[in-house]
Structure 1
């Protein structure tokens, strides 16, 4: 299991958390997504390391910006 933390900008509410969790959670190999709304940190547990551009696209689809990995 690989845990990776990303910084996401623009999340302000529970709906934001749900949207990011759903989009990132749909990436193949992702087992768990934990979002800390206050800090903007998104921690992803996956079977193998994820391509940051795939994560960026999922966060973008949810309507937010991945600012660092």
Structure 2
């Protein structure tokens, strides 16, 4: 399973995590999402290649910014 890791800025609580999880779960190919406000990290996994641009757009749609790490 392929995994992409991102650094997310602006997350402060569980509600932030939930908002990001909801948006990113709609990205094609995403099977698993691990997001932590405490660490500021988002790890997205799936069976195939995951579109970074789509993940970053989903994070922005949730109201946050992210970069691939």
Normalization by structure 2: what TM-score? 0.90
Q: How many pairs does the alignment contain?
A: 69
**2-structure distance, mates of 1:25, 1:37:** 17
Q: Determine if the alignment matches structure 1 residue 7 to structure 2 residue 27.
A: no
Gaps of 5+ in 1: none
Q: CA RMSD in A?
A: 1.1
- Runs of 4+ residues over 6 Å off in structure 1: none
Gaps of 5+ in 2: none
Superposition pairs of residues 32-43 of structure 1, within 5 angstroms: 32-43=32-43
Normalization by structure 1: what TM-score? 0.90
